[in-house]
Structure formats: structure tokens, C-alpha cells
Structure 1
Amino acid sequence: MAISQVKPPKTGLDPGVIASLPTFVFKAMGLNDNKREVETKCAICLSVLEDRKMARVLPNCSHTFHVVCIDRWLNSQSTCPICRIEAEPRLVLEPYEPLLAGSAPPIAPPLEGKSEGSGAQSTTKVGRSSS
């Protein structure tokens, strides 16, 4: 009787993906109504994010953490520790406009640099039926 070797499911992100997530030098964002500095804490270690320390922002949710803390988290988890959205960056597809029934596809502009006497000319007419 053979024992099948099953790999455990992937739980963390690939180290290359983690390294590709944006980092920045943290800077406190200003003052609140009581003229005190607004504190931002790392949700992993619960320490204050201090000015001039490296931080990492997750691109899908914009939550910010100490680089060391979030990197350690993402080695074993694939989601944001605050909102649980996938941490791996999503591909953003360009919006497109579908062709409507009866409409013509866009026509490429004529090539520049062709003189009228330099060879065969082609003419394309685009018309619409009246049906």
C-alpha cells in the first residue's frame, strides 16, 4: 500500500511578491483637533509607526505596517491582517468599449510620408446600411 505525498496548501506569499510590495519612509500625517500628533500603529506589533522608519503599504487595501512585521506575516499568510483582502497585487485590466451592433471598427489613420505619385493608392470606404 503506497502512501501518497500531498503537499500542504500554500499559506504565504512568494518571497519575490513580498519584496515587490511598495515600501516608503514613514512620515506622520499631521495634527488632530487637539493639536497632538496623530498616531498610526502597526496592527501586527501594535507599536507606533515612527517618522523616518521604513514601512510597507499593501496595494489592494492601502493598510500600512512596519516592513519587518508585514514581511514576517506574509511569509505565512496571504491576506492583510486588518481587512483580510488578498495582499498579492491584483492585475488591473484596461477598460474597453465593446462594438455596438451596426458600428464600424476604428479605422487606422493614413500613413504619413506617402506622396500621391509614389505607388498604388488604396481607398477604404466605411458606410452604414440604412436597414
Structure 2
Amino acid sequence: MPNGDAQTFSWHLDTELDDESFGLHGRKLFFIIALFSILLVFTTLFICGRWLCRRHGLLPTTFDSIHAAPPLPQGLDADAIKKLPIILHQAPPSGPSRTAEETECCICLSKFNDGEKLKVLPGCDHCFHCECVDMWLMNHSNCPLCRASLKLNSSLPMILIEEPPIRSYNL
């Protein structure tokens, strides 16, 4: 709605921008030249420093050697894994409650069935399915449950034991 009190704005396009308003004079020009010179000196020093370090063998020369993956942790060798004792799982008589550690494989999380072959790790006596613990031990040299280091003796039996180790169950 037009109102008599409202002011109208008129745009003046007839004025042109002159080059003097964008000019660099005096201090502005000095500071821009000084900043550019400092930047150029530091860039030159950085490039010369890298070249000298590479020449004296302090820096790798290729991109691949900078970002090379760290070596993978070594597991046990196949002979040491085969020497681990194997038992047949037998559920203890009903009565005392068993912990989950004693009834299931913590690698695949499935329960131990009667008559299944289980490998017992020396030192901690934790049991696992043979296939599960074999894959684990190819890449690691410790127990997957308690992380105890496996120091194998050559005197460990390689035979199938008929009865599981005796464990005491506290109520």
C-alpha cells in the first residue's frame, strides 16, 4: 500500500568505481610484500631441509615406506598348535551350577556338547573347540579368554584323553 510518508529509494548507477579506491599505497603495500617475502623464505627453508634429510637418509624416499603397515603379530606355529592336549567334553553330573566359561567356547559362543573334542591350553586350563582355538592361535600366542601367554613344553601329550580334567565346583 502506497503511503505518502514512505520514502522512495533511488539507485544511482551512473557512478563508476575508480581504480584509486582499490589501490595499494604506503603501509599496505609494504606489509603485503613483507608477508610474501617471509612466506617465500620459510617455504624455501622447508624444501631445502627436506632435501638434506632425504640425502642423509633421515627421511624415507618413497610414499609407500612412510605409510607401510606395521608387522602383524605372530601366532604359534602349526607344530606347537598340534601339540596342545585334546580332551572329550563330558558334562559333569547335575547338581552344582557351572559357569559359562566351563560350558561354552568363548570364541564361537556355542555350547560344548558331550563327546566334542576340546583343546586345553596349558597354564590356564581353558577349553575351546579345536577349530576355533586353532584359528586363534595362528594369529595370537595367548589365551583368548584370559590372555595368558602360551609357553609350550615339548613334553605335552598329543593323545586323546578319555576323561576331562577334574574340576572342583564351589557352591
TM-score between both structures, scaled by the size of structure 2: 0.44
Corresponding position of 1:53? 116
SS at structure 2 position matched to 1:70: helix
Partner SS for 1:43: coil
Spell out, residue by residue over 1:73-117, the C-alpha distance to the aligned partner (whole angstroms, 9 max, x if none).
10111110111001232589xxxxxxxxxxxxxxxxxxxxxxxxx
Higher helix share: 2
Looking at CA atoms only, which structure, 1 or 2, has the larger radius of gyration? 2
Structure 1 vs Structure 2 CA RMSD: 2.9
- What is the correspondence of 1:45-124 to structure 2 with a 5 Å cutoff? 45-89=108-152
Q: Which digits, 9 at most, give the CA deviation of each residue in 1:12-44, with x for residues without a partner?
A: 11110000000011111221348xxxx700010
The TM-score normalised by the length of structure 1 is 0.56
DSSP 3-state at the match of 2:137: helix
- Counterpart contact for 1:60–1:89, Cα < 8 Å: no
Once the two structures are superposed, what CA deviation does each residue of 1:46-83 show, in whole Å capped at 9, x if it has no partner? 10011111100001100000000000110111110111
Q: Structure 2: any 5+ residue segments left out of the alignment?
A: 1-60, 156-171
4+ residue runs over 6 A deviation: none
How many residues align? The count is 88
Greater relative contact order (Cα < 8 A, sep 6+)? 2
- Quote the Cα distance in structure 2 between the aligned partners of 1:89 and 1:32: 35
Counterpart residue number, 2:85 = 22
